[in-house]
Structure 1
Amino acid sequence: MPARDWALIRKALINGDSYNSEVSAYFSDFNTDTDTNALKNLCLVQSNDSALIAQQRIRFFREEIQKTHLKPIIVGQPKIDLDADVKYHPEVTVVLKQSLTSVSRGKYPKDARISWRLMNETSESLTFTKMNDVAALVYQQFFQNRFSFKKGKFIGWYISPLDGLHLQLYCLDATEAKRVAKYVVQAIGKTWNDSIFKVTNPNRDNTIESPQISILGKQKDAPIWRPNINVNSYKANINVWGAGNEDFELVGRLANGQFFAIARKN
């Protein structure tokens, strides 16, 4: 690779909302101490790094810190195939994630999702100006003061098709499920209807310690069923019918860990 090309790529990795920004945002979830800062500096691309050293830093961050190879396998359907079968209104999704500091070594943080549809919009009527308005709302309601809830085995249901709502919230108990559902309904400017809300309480115990099982001769912890954990708002995006595999980000994150409203393509 020509030296000038690598210099431009390295500059892009270091500056702006790129790789180094992602690393800094990731480590902002941890308590800052000497060891954490040293680990962070190992991952950051430096201004005098060669292409080989930069690749090693990126690989170290992805494989040893983020543990990308341990991310769960998603069993589902490609968006482009879904779009061919079903036409839908734009869907806003707020993703919440378990704090990294509460996850055991070798485990991946669990997440939760809160979604609703923009029933007054279609793929044809939606514009970036309108998406920026949605981004501002989502930021104000879920990220300015970081929204969180206690996740567990209880399921809170709030289904109101005219409002674009089909909430299925896994929460610690019925009280928490109602709190979260009511907050979401009111946050997006809809009227709460207490008669719609209902709760499912499974009999299965979710507090039993995960047993050891043998898989292909190796001892592993059995998957934990709906554990009681705390999740915090992490990111937000909007899914637009007919846009193929394009995903549009609504809330971004700065290197210092602060969130900001933006409507852009991921």
Structure 2
Amino acid sequence: MLPDGFDPYEHLQSIFRMMHNRRVRYEFRDVGPDDWEPVLNTPRASLRVACTILDNDNSGMMEMRLWLFYVLLKKAQDFHPAIYGIPVPSFQEARKFKPQIQLYFQEDAGDVDRGYAPCTGEISFRLMNNTSGNLNEALARNYANKIKTLFSSGSGFVWKKGKVQCVYTDRERGYALRILCRTKAEGRRVIEQVLDIQNHSPDWKKLNVSENESAAAAYPTVPPNEFIFGKSRRTPRQRPIADVRFQYAVLHVHGMPHPVVLVDRSRIFREQLAT
């Protein structure tokens, strides 16, 4: 039961203000802490004041602040990073494939270094005992529930990425895993977790571990600048050290234009198969 005198607009505005202002505070955390007293003494302080939704804002003011933050300051692009790819129908016309499960991971917002996008991770494998013809929703739900148990329980499975590369290859069972991690032990832990989705035990003679003799120099934490397209620009990070947390898992099936969402902690998708 809603309380007496419930005001839908006030409730919506309150939730909207709380969620939006949390993003604004994080974006402008260099200006001051959460309890920062608003001032207009610097350009970024002025922007933080302008983007922050106030309790007495009407809907027009709220829309203007949203437009400023997400469109003019281009924060909306964080939701859809640039990618290289081809349309799914074109790919499926050119290549037939075994069903594939992909697991996606991302660094927590509070851990992201200023000036960088969140670190991400992806692990995928093939279902060699299944085909597009014999795979159905019931079987997919079994995979979904297993992934939910292994990767989505509690606060989500965390993969500690780093500069050591662990390569696990067992093509007969659908694995060609390349896991960047801090240590070999961490790589084995992640591989064991992935294989457990299909109740497979690792065969460690199929694991190869490589570590650069001077990893800090080969993959610096802060990459150097290079002269690119007319100006000095920061080069992309290689093998950054970051904790990435499980976000969602999808299933790709040949003949289906959209992936089947198995598990979703991120709430990006409207539905998931996991129960």
Is 2:260 the counterpart of 1:248? yes
Residue 144 (structure 2) aligns with: 135
Of 108, 121, 141 in structure 1, the residue corresponding to residue 130 of structure 2 is 121
CA contact (8 A) 1:135 1:261 kept: no
Of 239, 243, 255 in structure 2, the residue corresponding to residue 226 of structure 1 is 239
CA contact (8 A) 1:213 1:219 kept: yes
Residues 55/128 of structure 1: CA separation in 2 closer, same or farther (3 Å cut):
farther
Residue 66 (structure 2) aligns with: 57
Cα displacement string for residues 202-222 of structure 1 (whole angstroms, at most 9, x for unaligned residues): 345323532233334444322
Q: 1-side partners of 2:59 and 2:96: how far apart?
A: 48
CA RMSD of aligned residues (A): 4.0
Residues 261/174 of structure 1: CA separation in 2 closer, same or farther (3 Å cut):
farther
Tell me by how many angstroms 1:166 deviates: 1.5
Residue 92 (structure 1) aligns with: 101
Structure 1, unaligned runs of 5 or more:
1-10, 15-19
Q: 2-side partners of 1:250 and 1:172: how far apart?
A: 28
* Structure with more contact order per residue of length (Cα contacts < 8 Å, sep ≥ 6): 1
Residues 196/58 of structure 1: CA separation in 2 closer, same or farther (3 Å cut):
farther
Q: 2-side partners of 1:152 and 1:133: how far apart?
A: 32
Larger Rg: 2
Between the two proteins, the alignment pairs up a number of residues equal to: 234
The 3-state SS of whatever aligns with 1:195 is helix
Residues 175/121 of structure 1: CA separation in 2 closer, same or farther (3 Å cut):
same
Of 218, 227, 233 in structure 2, the residue corresponding to residue 214 of structure 1 is 227
Q: 2-side partners of 1:216 and 1:76: how far apart?
A: 23
Q: 1-side partners of 2:166 and 2:270: how far apart?
A: 29
Describe how 1:66-81 pairs up with structure 2 within 5 A: 66-68=75-77, 72-81=81-90
Residue 237 (structure 1) aligns with: 250
Describe how 1:1-266 pairs up with structure 2 within 5 A: 49=59, 57=66, 60-61=69-70, 64=73, 66-68=75-77, 72-145=81-154, 146-203=156-213, 204=215, 205-207=218-220, 209-244=222-257, 246-253=258-265, 262-263=272-273
Tell me by how many angstroms 1:34 deviates: 6.1
Tell me by how many angstroms 1:159 deviates: 1.5
What TM-score results when the alignment is normalised by the length of structure 1? 0.70
Q: 2-side partners of 1:231 and 1:254: how far apart?
A: 13
The 3-state SS of whatever aligns with 2:219 is coil
Residues 125/101 of structure 1: CA separation in 2 closer, same or farther (3 Å cut):
same
Residue 4 (structure 1) aligns with: none
Cα displacement string for residues 14-37 of structure 1 (whole angstroms, at most 9, x for unaligned residues): 8xxxxx7xx68x96xx8xx668xx
The 3-state SS of whatever aligns with 2:201 is coil
Q: 2-side partners of 1:147 and 1:185: how far apart?
A: 14
Q: Percent identity?
A: 23
